[in-house]
Amino acid sequence: MGKNTGFLEYKRVEGKVIAEEERIKNFDEFHKSLSLQEQKKQAARCMDCGIPFCQAGVMISGMMSGCPLHNLIPEINDLVYRGQMEEAYRRLSITHSFPEFTSRVCPALCEAACTEGVHDTPVTTKENEKAVIEYAFEHDLVKEESPAIRTGKKVAVVGSGPSGLAAAQLLNRRGHEVTVFERSDRPGGLLQYGIPNMKLDKRVIERRINLMMDAGIHFELNMDVGKDITGEELKKNFDSVILCCGASNPRDISVPGRDAKGIYFAVDFLKEVTKKIQDSDFKDFPYEMARDKDIIVIGGGDTGNDCVGSCIRLGAKSVTQLEMMPQPPEERATSNPWPEWPKVLKTDYGQEESIYKFGHDPRIYQTTVKEFKKDKNGNIKSVVIVSLEPKKDAKTGRVNMVTVKGSEQVLPAGLVLIAAGFLGSESYVRDSFSVEADDRTNVKTKCGFATSAPGVYAAGDMHIGQSLVVRAIAEGRAAAKQADYDLMGYTNL
């Protein structure tokens, strides 16, 4: 695979990243691509390692290692190295529905499991993938073909996030008549409104959706299943239903003063920002949402980082990000060996921009909110934070984060964004279909992706809980395969 001595001859080189000074002036994507000639060199670094852990996609210690889609990564890298970009796209499309999405937003589980990463830097698999899919689009290779023969079966997909789109894509190719129901005004789900434009340009989503519509997939927008139409109606009118509604129930912060004005869930804030930008045809930014405000972001994950980057672009006076857990180590701990996902300190684009703008990292570790304070008009004016420390429970042996007495501090706040994760699926959707849920409110499946309701399946975050775009795509594809088998008695998906 690749060039046998490539990893010795070429150092890892990534595409240029636009400097913080320039990129915070807009919401444009800021990761640029290498030239095709340079990308070939990077693909040449993929060596004949024997066992490609990069494409394993297995759970190790509760974390995914390698690509959940089982992309044929060494083969794709070899084709890129040889300049056979069309064949590289054909190979990639065997296992992948939307490389243009993951090559922008995936944390690159494949690279974390790359054999070269044990002693050197891993292969630039994510950027190689982006080079392949963008070459394919530029050369009109990407097609969503309308099937020559329809099966006569009708399938409803509820939710147009990555799992829903992946399921719809395969079922339509199979010949079923597919209708996707989306409660928002634009398709894409998490991709559309949960990820800001500078990470995933919404025109990239529109490009794919247009192809899917041309291939015969129907999209019913502004249709909130469980409210605007019942689950019983869908079960009556369709032969199968696949629930791909995500883990869209945000975790709240229940402390005094929570009813103050100016406290929002992060996903609602990001949606409003993205919607306003799109409604203006990418010409106007909603500066009024954050300009000259002290911002408190509660949560240290990707969504919290996206809030930091968005607020800086909208002219925030200051940004502070609160993280409950201790700061990760800069290098792998011995208890976190390769090819596990490396639990090490990561400074993402939002934190980098905060360091540039304000001169310091916005994150405060081992900290949570004790109280929200309001002004006389009920608006948020400050937050009381308190430090945390890990303590082992004598009975259970479990380590819990507990408050440190006397460690309270008061921080000014004009806007608070809660990015504390999600609790699972929303009950009104589950109730409408009469499907069972587990203890984490994820939809329970009895066999693969089949729920307790006949003909109803669940996939993506609604099935496995909050996870990654690449896992959601894998879930959607697998659920489509099972639904197709149950409908037809066999499947060629």
Answer whether residue 394 shows pLDDT above 80: yes
Could you tell me which residues are beta bridge partners of residue 156?
179, 241
**DSSP code of 123?**
P
Which residue in this structure is represented by tokens 């208890």? 335
Helical spans, DSSP H, in 379-468: 427-433, 461-464
Cα(319)–Cα(325) distance, integer angstroms: 19
235: Cβ–Cβ under 8 A, 6 or more apart, which residues?
A: 241, 433, 453, 455, 456
Q: Tell me the average pLDDT of the chain.
A: 96
Over residues 263-273, mean pLDDT: 97
Phi, psi dihedrals of residue 368, rounded to the nearest 5° = -145, 175
Confidence of residue 259 (pLDDT cuts 50, 70, 90): very high
User: How large a percentage of the chain has pLDDT more than 90?
Assistant: 94
CB-based contact 252:418 (threshold 8 Å):
yes
CB-based contact 456:483 (threshold 8 Å):
no
Kindly state the tokens that stand for 124. Answer: 């630039």
Give pLDDT tens digits for 397-444.
899 999 999 999 999 999 999 999 998 899 999 999 999 999 989 999
Report the sign of the C-alpha dihedral through residues 158, 159, 164, 170, in that order. positive
User: Torsion angle, CA of 130/132/137/141, rounded to 10 degrees?
Assistant: -150
Kindly state the tokens that stand for 417. Answer: 């964004």
CB-based contact 382:413 (threshold 8 Å):
yes
- Among 445, 419, 411, CA closest to 430: 445
Cα(71)–Cα(96) distance, integer angstroms: 7
Domains, in order of start, for the chain:
6-138 (1.10.1060.10), 154-249+423-488 (3.50.50.60), 263-418 (3.50.50.60)
Give pLDDT tens digits for 189-228.
999 999 999 999 999 999 999 999 999 999 999 999 999 9
Give pLDDT tens digits for 88-106.
999 999 999 999 999 999 9
Q: What is the pLDDT of residue 1?
A: 67
Cα(188)–Cα(166) distance, integer angstroms: 11
Three-state SS at 313? helix
Answer whether residue 447 shows pLDDT above 90: no
Give pLDDT tens digits for 15-56.
999 999 999 999 999 999 999 999 999 999 998 898 999 999
CB-based contact 434:281 (threshold 8 Å):
no
Answer whether residue 318 shows pLDDT above 70: yes
Q: What is the pLDDT of residue 51?
A: 92
Q: What is the pLDDT of residue 48?
A: 87
DSSP secondary structure letters along 341-371: --------HHHHHHHHHHSS--EE-SEEEEE
Q: What is the pLDDT of residue 397?
A: 86
- Among 250, 120, 148, 260, CA closest to 194: 250
Please give the order of strands across the beta sheet that includes 263-265. Answer: 263-265, 415-418, 294-298, 318-322, 363-364
Over residues 365-369, mean pLDDT: 97
Answer whether residue 108 shows pLDDT above 90: yes
CB-based contact 415:421 (threshold 8 Å):
no
Answer whether residue 2 shows pLDDT above 80: no
Give pLDDT tens digits for 472-492.
999 999 999 999 999 999 999
Answer whether residue 367 shows pLDDT above 90: yes
pTM over 0.85: yes
Could you tell me which residues are beta bridge partners of residue 179?
156, 218
